[in-house]
Amino acid sequence: MKPLTFDELEAFAAARPAELDWIRVQLDTGGIAAGAQDILDDLVRLRDEAGLTIPIQSVGSVGYSFADPVVEIQCSGMPHVTYGRVDRHVAEGIIREHATSGRLIDDHVIATRNRRCVLEGPVTHILVRDTGSDAGNKTEFLQFSLLEELKRKGLGERVQVVRAMDLGLYDEGLAVQLLPAAVTYSNVLAPDVARIVDESVVGGRLIDDLLVRDPDRQVRIVLRNCGRIDPECIDDYLRHARGYQALARVLRELKPEDVVAELKVSGLRGRGGAGFPTWLKWQITAAQPSDERIVICNGDEGDPGAFMDRSVLESDPHSVLEGMMIAAYAMGASRGYFYIRAEYPKAVARVERAIAQAREAGLLGTNILGSSFAFEAKIRLGAGAFVCGEETALIASIEGRRGSPSPRPPYPSVKGLWGKPTAINNVETLANVPAILLNGGAWYARHGTEQSRGTKVFAVTGKVKNAQLVEVPMGTSLREIIYGICGGVLDDRQIKAVQTGGPSGGVIPEKHLDTPVSYETLQQLGSIMGSGGMLAMDETDSMVDVAKFYLRFCVDESCGKCAPCRIGGYQMLQILDRISRGRGAPDDLATLRRICLAMQRASLCGLGQTAPNPVLSTLRYFEEEYRAYIEGGPAFARKMSRSATSPTAAPVREPATAAS
């Protein structure tokens, strides 16, 4: 590939690709772990055996972790469908049924969230699902009734009724989605079956009282290309994702200060967790007198249960690289480092490839796109220390020193890597940047809340039905995320709390689930936004155990440099351990609080300052549970550990009464 010019780039953007048939297999780490590579091989073999020519591509992940391996298929004359939990039989079905005879496969279709309210064209397939509780599921009943009704109307051959795996609707009774129009009805009762067939399938009319009008709760800005393009192919990014158009616009039309101004309008704040305004960070870095400035992409994602950055790096590395280049242009940096944890080999490989491809295309090096802008990007691997996500420790690690934080000031934006002014931005922050420059800061600022603009990606895990990556506008409530997007709590249990912000965050109890998510509100609740890990816990989970789990993580990951964190964390863990074994002393809680305070106030870096948060917030909302452990003694502790491991044991709802 010879170096690209502005005009060639523009031609890429202008060219509208023809709608072709394709099968996309989502090959990110999660998918591969679930067997996506085997599925890909199977699909290729089966396709060849069937004598088909449909191309099979590997793409990144759209984020449906609950459904890995995920395969998306577009076949002319067929609705565009995503299959989840694809195994060998489903793969066979995809080739032999879906691609060959136009029939969808039961129990594996994930309905599109892009629901529409217009019925055009004949209905070819109907997805059905009982979105209520798992017990007494009526999906098959609905499928049977609809099919019978269709047969009665002589449509049994023309319309296929398919049991869906997921409709994106939860707790809304029986639901159907008419394909290809993606018109969705919910709370369908037995009498409605005939209406749906009569009015919608035959008559082509909408049924207003059943129609789901809610738009998709998610807004995909960061994840815009994830699962849509081949992350290993720059051509895909250029042709299908408006790749490097933002960079071209910046180089051609904007002065560095204009870029900063655009970011200021967008209101984008650091997505690593602290929420420092991105434009300000760039401006400060740009203002430092220096012969060289450096931009670092912090990909040292380490919170337990968080995988946003990994997924973005694996699914859309070029966007992050483009964002980094725009950042570099804005602050006059000529070198960039991707600091990625070594436990993310796939992300590392894909970023490495992206850098090589960009270099080959003349997008890295000197005279980029014929301008005077020069930039080089490199990868540095993190060696497994959580604390290296902290800016000064990260810099120490790149420089080859022991990864411990150093006192600030000087801040990295003044004196950073190799003593040069350095801006360190999170993966998600940088992935936002090209979209902001393409669509304008004002467009971005329309999403979210006054103080927290834009969207945020969360990795929702724990006791939810559909663990997945979600990207929602700031201000979306936790309840919407847990119940509206992720399907609620596993086994339809009572939710107890949601943990956000990983080991630096805290738990938010059920009563606060309606709080809109933003940097400020979460902090008021004693947690933090953090990088975006979100863990749901149900009534059987012991909050003391939760606090212990997160604290143990921080104790393991403390660099050991400063006394409050090094010793404080360990001593707290000893106390928590005692309490959780029912051997706590009455004054343990006071001691815990005192150590927490010392750690918060006297630790050097963010890790130590925030490490007590899980303990403090569980103490804040669930103190009675701690007291129950202390008062109930070992017998109570044994009971709690039984109820946590065996889902059939009676949940302990009111620990205080249980103790008294």
Partner 1 sequence: MIKALINELPVEVSEGTSILDAARQVQVKIPTLCKHRDLLPTAACGLCIVRNKGGNRLIRACCTPLETGMEITTHDRDIVDVRRSTLELILSNHPHECLTCGRNGECELQTLAADFNITLEKIKRFVKDVPPDTSTNSIVIDFTKCIKCGRCIQVCQDIQNVWALSFLDRGINTRMAPAGDITLAESPCVKCGQCSAHCPTGAIVEKDETATVWGSLRNPEKFCVVQIAPSVRVTVGEAFGLPPGTNLTRKLYTALRRLGFEAVFDTNFSADVTIVEEASEFVERFTKRRSALPLITSCCPSWTDFMEKNHYDFIDNFSTAKSPQQMMGVLAKTYYAQKLGIDPARMVMVSIMPCTAKKYELSRAEEMRASGYPDVDVALTTRELARMLKQSGIDFLNLPDGEADSILGAYSGAGTIFGATGGVMEAAVRTAYAYATGRHLETIELEAVRGLKGVKEGSIQLDGQTVRLAVAHGLANVEAVLERVREARRAGRETPYHFIEVMACPGGCIGGGGQPYGVDDARRRLRMAGLYQDDRDRAVRFSHENPEVVRLYAEFLGKPLAGRAHQLLHTRYTARPLYKR
Site string for partner 1, 409-438 (x = CB under 8 A): x-----------------------------
Q: Which is nearer to partner 1, 414 or 644 (CB)?
A: 414
Q: Which stretch binds partner 1 (CB under 8 A): 145-153, 566-574, 620-628, 640-648?
A: 566-574
Q: Which of helix, strand or coil describes residue 596?
A: helix
Residue 440 CB-half CA count within 13 A: 3
Q: How far is the CB of 604 from partner 1 (least distance, A)?
A: 5
Would you list the DSSP string of 293-339?
Answer: -EEEEEE---STT--HHHHHHHH-HHHHHHHHHHHHHHHT--EEEEE
Neighbours of 509 (CB within 10 A): 18
User: Is 569 one of the binding residues for partner 1 (CB under 8 A)?
Assistant: yes
Q: Which of helix, strand or coil describes residue 450?
A: coil
Contact 331, 371 (CB under 8 A): no
User: Is 524 one of the binding residues for partner 1 (CB under 8 A)?
Assistant: no
Amino acid (1-letter code) at residue 480: E
Residue closest to 210 by CA, chosen among 192, 224, 222: 192
Q: Which stretch binds partner 1 (CB under 8 A): 147-155, 252-260, 283-291, 403-411?
A: 403-411
Q: Which stretch binds partner 1 (CB under 8 A): 96-104, 203-211, 214-222, 550-558?
A: 550-558
Distance of CA 276 to the CA centre of its chain: 20
Contact 617, 507 (CB under 8 A): yes
User: Is 504 one of the binding residues for partner 1 (CB under 8 A)?
Assistant: no
Q: Which stretch binds partner 1 (CB under 8 A): 219-227, 237-245, 255-263, 398-406?
A: 398-406
| Count of residues touching partner 1 (by CB under 8 A) | 33
Q: Which is nearer to partner 1, 425 or 580 (CB)?
A: 580
Tokens of 402: 């022991």
Q: Which is nearer to partner 1, 164 or 562 (CB)?
A: 562
Q: Which is nearer to partner 1, 63 or 568 (CB)?
A: 568
Tokens of 473: 């506008």
Q: Which residue do the tokens 């919608």 mark?
A: 200
Q: How far is the CB of 397 from partner 1 (least distance, A)?
A: 12
User: Is 571 one of the binding residues for partner 1 (CB under 8 A)?
Assistant: yes
User: Is 274 one of the binding residues for partner 1 (CB under 8 A)?
Assistant: no
User: Is 399 one of the binding residues for partner 1 (CB under 8 A)?
Assistant: no
Q: Which is nearer to partner 1, 75 or 555 (CB)?
A: 555
User: Is 619 one of the binding residues for partner 1 (CB under 8 A)?
Assistant: no
Would you call 101 exposed, middle or buried from its count of C-beta atoms within 10 A (0-12, 13-18, 19+)? exposed
Q: How far is the CB of 568 from partner 1 (least distance, A)?
A: 5
How far apart are alpha carbons 359 and 225 in whole angstroms?
21
Q: How far is the CB of 601 from partner 1 (least distance, A)?
A: 5
Q: Which stretch binds partner 1 (CB under 8 A): 199-207, 247-255, 428-436, 560-568?
A: 560-568
Q: Which of helix, strand or coil describes residue 461?
A: strand
Contact 388, 300 (CB under 8 A): yes
Would you call 49 exposed, middle or buried from its count of C-beta atoms within 10 A (0-12, 13-18, 19+)? exposed
Of the candidate residues 261, 563, 644, 659, the single one contacting partner 1 (CB under 8 A) = 563
User: Is 475 one of the binding residues for partner 1 (CB under 8 A)?
Assistant: no
Site string for partner 1, 576-605 (x = CB under 8 A): ---------------x--xx-xx--xxxx-
How far apart are alpha carbons 536 and 555 in whole angstroms?
23
Q: How far is the CB of 563 from partner 1 (least distance, A)?
A: 5
Q: Which stretch binds partner 1 (CB under 8 A): 36-44, 279-287, 322-330, 404-412?
A: 404-412
Residue closest to 334 by CA, chosen among 373, 368, 372, 362: 373
Q: Which is nearer to partner 1, 261 or 563 (CB)?
A: 563
Q: Which is nearer to partner 1, 326 or 387 (CB)?
A: 387
Q: Which is nearer to partner 1, 389 or 568 (CB)?
A: 568
Measure the CA dihedral 29/34/40/42, to 10°: 160
How far apart are alpha carbons 230 and 235 in whole angstroms?
9
User: Is 570 one of the binding residues for partner 1 (CB under 8 A)?
Assistant: yes
Q: Which is nearer to partner 1, 51 or 407 (CB)?
A: 407
Distances (CA, A) of 557 to 302, 344, 412, 534, 566: 10, 18, 22, 20, 10
Tokens of 444: 């971005």
Strand 468-473 versus strand 495-500 pairing type: unpaired
Q: How far is the CB of 450 from partner 1 (least distance, A)?
A: 23
**Residues contacting 218, CB < 8 A, separation 6+:** 113, 470, 471, 472, 485
Helices 613-645, 588-602: axis angle to 10 degrees equals 130
Q: Which is nearer to partner 1, 26 or 404 (CB)?
A: 404
Q: How far is the CB of 406 from partner 1 (least distance, A)?
A: 7
Of the candidate residues 501, 568, 584, 614, the single one contacting partner 1 (CB under 8 A) = 568
Of the candidate residues 524, 574, 646, 660, the single one contacting partner 1 (CB under 8 A) = 574
Rule CB under 8 A: which residues touch partner 1? Answer: 385, 387, 402, 404, 406-407, 409, 555-564, 566-571, 574, 591, 594-595, 597-598, 601-604
